[in-house]
Amino acid sequence: MVVHLNAIGPVSLVIIGIVALLIFGPKKLPELGKAFGSTLREFKKGTKGLIDDDDDDKKKVIEHKDENK
């Protein structure tokens, strides 16, 4: 089963927010949001580093091929 991001509409987001508020409470919810944001930020930094490393490796391979010609 494939779920597209477009399938999550505004009504779904409101329902998810209400359920999260009921489960975690109003005091804990901002802390969870902050933790989620910092985790997502670290993940993006890590994947950007991997992509940059791959680009550097590709450039080295191309430069090595050019030197051997």
- What is the identity of the amino acid at 33? G
For residue 21, report the phi and psi dihedrals to the nearest 5 degrees.
-65, -40
C-alpha to C-alpha distance for 68 and 62, rounded to whole angstroms: 10
Question: What is the value of pTM for the model shown?
Answer: 0.50
| Tens-digit pLDDT profile for residues 16-48 | 889 989 998 989 988 988 999 999 999 888 888
Burial of 20 (0-12, 13-18, 19+ CB in 10 A): middle
Burial of 24 (0-12, 13-18, 19+ CB in 10 A): middle
